[in-house]
């Protein structure tokens, strides 16, 4: 079962003792400290994501060595100049004090990547150092997808439980188990407001699949941004005492299903309160959102 996840990544990382040896082994020639630029990437974690899937800590441990030596490609602007990065080291970072929605300690797979410095890599390095957020698409394969409600393997049995639904108060999600392969990762430029989002698509190999994935990711972000904007607007309409910023930051933490629910409920309430005005403001509001998002997508 092939999986592609998106995460937010790209942060400068200092060289540690022994790193140059690891890098030299991959590059098949010794490289001097001045010749390489290193940075870290958040590859994947054990939080339940927007597809209601998560990697088990054990799966992250299995993926860790598989990502070593894998290449990272940058979006069109950069790949045209032949930029590539390579993961030379990985580690599973455990943050036990932070609990996942599944109730266990948070952990994530951190990848350390290097680039060989050339004249044209200077701008890219400045972008990473400057903290411009990039989304990272990460691909891997797992053998099993275990239903959190009944424990069946969803790749062989259809138990009928739907991810994201609750059964007797228990949320249904899928646990991705048995890592079998890891693929290259790619950086996708994010226009604005990157969400710690996750987009998955069947991997068909090659650049075409990546391009399609990028397109889907952009559409998904537009939909979510619209939805969040709508919820904030309706919430403020329903209760003018609310703090807009607080509502906005709350919507950033909600899943699409939760946002749809809220939107319905607020729409009902505002519909009762302001039957005529709502319609007008709704149209004005959504048009403004479309304008904004067109600018992001351009
Ligand atoms: Zn099930």
pLDDT digits (tens, 9 = 90+) for 50-94: 889 999 999 999 999 999 999 887 765 545 555 678 999 999 999
Looking at per-residue pLDDT, the higher value among 47 and 227 belongs to 47
C-beta of residue 36 within 8 angstroms of C-beta of residue 117: yes
Which pLDDT score, from 0 to 100, does residue 8 have?
59
For strand 71-73 and strand 174-189, is the pairing parallel, antiparallel, or unpaired?
parallel
Which pLDDT score, from 0 to 100, does residue 71 have?
86
Backbone angles phi, psi at 220, to 5 degrees: -60, -40
CA of 167 to the centre of ligand 1 (A): 10
DSSP state for residue 161 in the 8-state scheme: P
CA of 146 to the centre of ligand 1 (A): 8
Which tens digit of pLDDT belongs to each residue from 254-284?
877 788 888 888 877 776 555 443 333 333 3
CA of 103 to the centre of ligand 1 (A): 19
Query: Does the structure show a pLDDT above 90 at 171?
Result: yes
Give the least confident one: 86-100, 113-127, 204-218. 204-218
CA of 78 to the centre of ligand 1 (A): 43
Prediction pTM value: 0.60
CA of 38 to the centre of ligand 1 (A): 43
What gap in Å lies between CA 63 and CA 70, rounded to an integer?
Answer: 12
C-beta of residue 112 within 8 angstroms of C-beta of residue 86: no
DSSP state for residue 242 in the 8-state scheme: S
CA of 186 to the centre of ligand 1 (A): 33
CA of 277 to the centre of ligand 1 (A): 45
Which pLDDT score, from 0 to 100, does residue 179 have?
94
Backbone angles phi, psi at 74, to 5 degrees: -100, 165
Which pLDDT score, from 0 to 100, does residue 275 have?
44
Q: Where are the extended beta strands (E) located within 121-277?
A: 134-147, 166-167, 170-171, 174-189
CA of 162 to the centre of ligand 1 (A): 8
Which pLDDT score, from 0 to 100, does residue 199 have?
29
What gap in Å lies between CA 62 and CA 64, rounded to an integer?
Answer: 6
Which residue do the tokens 């937010």 mark? 8
Query: Does the structure show a pLDDT above 70 at 196?
Result: no
- The confidence band for 285, taking pLDDT boundaries of 50, 70 and 90, is very low
Q: What percent of the chain has pLDDT over 90?
A: 32
CA of 154 to the centre of ligand 1 (A): 8
Give the sign of the dihedral formed by CA 262, CA 163, CA 101, CA 62. Answer: negative
Q: Which of 214-218, 232-236, 252-256 has the highest mean pLDDT?
A: 232-236
Query: Does the structure show a pLDDT above 60 at 133?
Result: no
Looking at per-residue pLDDT, the higher value among 273 and 222 belongs to 222
Looking at per-residue pLDDT, the higher value among 289 and 108 belongs to 108
CA of 144 to the centre of ligand 1 (A): 13
Which pLDDT score, from 0 to 100, does residue 82 have?
57
CA of 172 to the centre of ligand 1 (A): 8
CA of 161 to the centre of ligand 1 (A): 5
What gap in Å lies between CA 201 and CA 216, rounded to an integer?
Answer: 9
CA of 8 to the centre of ligand 1 (A): 30
What gap in Å lies between CA 139 and CA 70, rounded to an integer?
Answer: 11
CA of 256 to the centre of ligand 1 (A): 22
Which pLDDT score, from 0 to 100, does residue 85 have?
84
């Amino acid at each position: 079962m092939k999986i592609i996840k998106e995460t937010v990544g790209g942060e400068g990382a200092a060289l540690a003792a022994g790193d140059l040896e690891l890098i030299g082994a991959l590059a098949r020639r010794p490289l001097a400290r001045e010749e390489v630029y290193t940075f870290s990437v958040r590859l994947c974690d054990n939080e339940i994501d927007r597809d209601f899937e998560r990697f088990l800590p054990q799966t992250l441990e299995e993926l860790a060595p598989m990502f070593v030596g894998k290449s990272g490609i940058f979006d069109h602007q950069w790949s045209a100049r032949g930029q590539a990065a390579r993961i030379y080291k990985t580690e599973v970072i455990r943050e036990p004090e932070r609990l996942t929605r599944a109730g266990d300690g948070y952990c994530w797979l951190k990848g350390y990547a290097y680039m060989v410095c050339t004249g044209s890599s200077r701008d890219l390095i400045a972008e990473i150092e400057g903290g411009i957020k990039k989304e990272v698409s990460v691909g891997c394969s797992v053998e099993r997808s275990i239903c959190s409600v009944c424990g069946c393997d969803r790749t062989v049995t259809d138990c009928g439980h739907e991810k994201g639904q609750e059964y007797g108060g228990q949320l249904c999600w899928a646990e991705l188990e048995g890592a079998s392969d890891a693929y290259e990762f790619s950086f996708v430029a994010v226009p604005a407001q990157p969400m710690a989002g996750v987009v998955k698509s069947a991997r068909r190999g090659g650049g075409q699949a990546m391009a399609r994935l990028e397109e889907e990711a952009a559409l998904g972000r537009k939909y979510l941004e619209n939805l969040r904007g709508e919820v904030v607007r309706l919430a403020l309409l329903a209760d003018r005492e609310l703090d807009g910023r607080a509502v906005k930051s709350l919507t950033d933490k909600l899943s699409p299903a939760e946002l749809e629910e809220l939107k319905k409920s607020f729409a009902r309430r505002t519909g009762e309160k302001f039957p005529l005005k709502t319609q007008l403001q709704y149209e004005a509001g959504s048009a403004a959102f479309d304008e904004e998002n067109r600018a992001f997508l351009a």
